[in-house]
Each structure stands twice: as structure tokens, then as C-alpha cells.
Amino acid sequence: CQWVDQLPVDTVILEVGLGGRLDAVNVFDADVCGLMSISRDHQEVLGPRYDLILKEKFGIARSNSPMISSFCLDYLNEKLARLSSCGVLWHNLKNIFEGFCKLSFEQRNFLSAWYLMKLSLEETTESYYERDERNKILNLLPEKAMVGRGEVISRKDFHLRIYGTHN
């Protein structure tokens, strides 16, 4: 917490590692959260099935706060729809951006980070849901994979510094 307070940044995106409910990022009261992927890591803690893992990861969600997801599996989206009915303001990127699941892994991650940033800055409006606006951001997606940690991606007035891990 002290490290984040000392940074001259507007927005911090923290990755949940072990799982949502049990993860250290829960010391922060997030304005916005995102569920980007589900894998079978840490099964001994999170459980052996996708629905159990999703339920644990959903522990980062806050009632009356936005949460985005980038799941392409309908099964996970159906389970998430049930979980998010408790008042979480769910933004399903698969439904918002046409062809989302046809994008590369890197492009989906970039788009997810961009959308999280827009939500955290409260810059999303109904116009972002219009087809023309969605297509504009799709044209800004990088074509190559990320070079590595600390890379800066800039498009017009948007700057994103990546300090990612395996996700």
C-alpha cells in the first residue's frame, strides 16, 4: 500500500495472483475490477473445476462497482452472470466488442486494460457501446505481442505502462 501511495500515477492496475477472495490485492478497495482469465493454477486452494475457481476469483468484485470480464467460454459467462446478479456492475467484453474472442491473446489483454482504465477514470459513456466507437478502439490495438515488463503503449492521448506477469 505504501509503495502505491508514493507513485505519481493516476491509475494502478493490480493483478490478482492466487485467487480473488484469498489474494493480497483485497487490501485495496478497488474502484473497478477485472476477471481476465481462468486457468487451473492453484487447484489445491481454488478447487479443480472452473466454476469453483471462478467463484474464488469473483471475491475481488464489489457490490455497486464495475467489473469487467474477458471470458470467451460461454460456460464461464453463464456462471459469472449468476454471480454478478448480487449488484456487481458487470461489463462482459465478449458482448461489448464485436469479434472480441477472435482477437489475439495480446490484443484481448490490451483491450481489457484500456477498458479498465476508462472505467476507473469514469470516462465510459453510452457512446462507448455504439458500434462506431467500439470499432475505433479496435483499430488502435497493437499487432505485435508485448515486448516485456515496463513497456509503454501509446495511442494519441492514451499511455499504458505494462508491468504484467504470466497473465
DSSP 145: P
Given a cut of 50, whether residue 107 has pLDDT beyond it is: yes
Helix axes 131-138, 105-120, angle to 10 degrees: 120
Q: Which residue has the higher pLDDT, 46 or 5?
A: 46
pLDDT confidence tier of residue 106, bands split at 50, 70 and 90 = confident
pLDDT band at 112 (very low <50, low <70, confident <90, very high): confident
Return mean pLDDT, the chain: 77
Strands 66-69 and 33-35: parallel
Cα–chain-centroid distance for residue 59?
A: 14
Q: Are 41 and 88 contacting, i.e. CB atoms less than 8 angstroms apart?
A: no
How many other CB atoms sit within 10 Å of the CB of residue 5? 7
Give pLDDT tens digits for 25-68. Answer: 777 777 788 888 887 777 788 888 999 988 888 888 888 888 89
Beta carbons within 8 Å of 7's beta carbon, 6+ residues apart = none
